[in-house]
């Protein structure tokens, strides 16, 4: 193992870089899975879901969307997702990016409703803990 630390922020791509990556992987015959989500906050449930998706593809691109009431800034969420070893690439969501990635041959899995449920479950858990026994 190298003593050199990996800067996971290099996994964060622009929309154009993400599209070029999707095209390049398709040309190489590799399967790219694109998973969308808010990752706000990033929880173990997200990490498990991303690992499951990664197991079905050669590469994984996480698209970080913007929830209705974000807890963390988008860039911070992107850096947290990029820190996961199962994630190969991260991009911040932009208009029509998902459709363009699908057109470039990527398999897209949208998970925003699941993210909203995960966040609501966390909030409910915290409220229960604060109420006490």
Q: What's the structural domain count of the chain? A: 1
- The answer as to whether 78 is a domain residue is yes
- The answer as to whether 2 is a domain residue is no
- The answer as to whether 22 is a domain residue is yes
- The answer as to whether 81 is a domain residue is yes
Using left for φ > 0, alpha for ψ between -120 and 50, and beta otherwise, residue 78 falls in: alpha
Supply the range of the domain harboring residue 29.
8-131
- The answer as to whether 1 is a domain residue is no
| Residue closest to 34 by CA, chosen among 117, 79, 99 | 99
The CATH number assigned to the domain holding 89 equals: 3.40.50
Interval 83-114: pLDDT, tens: 999 999 999 999 899 999 999 988 888 776 67
Predicted pLDDT at 6: 62
- The answer as to whether 63 is a domain residue is yes
Confidence of residue 133 (pLDDT cuts 50, 70, 90): low
- The answer as to whether 102 is a domain residue is yes
């Amino acid at each position: 193992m190298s003593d050199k630390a990996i800067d996971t922020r290099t996994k964060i791509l622009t929309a154009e870089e993400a599209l070029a990556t999707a095209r390049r992987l398709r040309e190489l015959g590799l399967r790219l899975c694109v998973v969308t989500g808010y990752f706000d906050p990033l929880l173990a449930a997200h990490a498990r879901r991303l690992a499951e998706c990664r197991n079905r593809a050669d590469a994984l691109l996480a698209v970080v969307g913007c929830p209705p009431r974000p807890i963390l800034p988008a860039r911070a969420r992107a850096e947290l997702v990029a820190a996961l070893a199962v994630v190969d690439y991260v991009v911040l969501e932009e208009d029509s990016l998902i459709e363009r990635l699908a057109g470039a041959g990527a398999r897209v899995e949208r998970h925003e409703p699941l993210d909203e449920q995960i966040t609501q479950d966390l909030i409910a858990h915290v409220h229960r803990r604060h109420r006490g026994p």
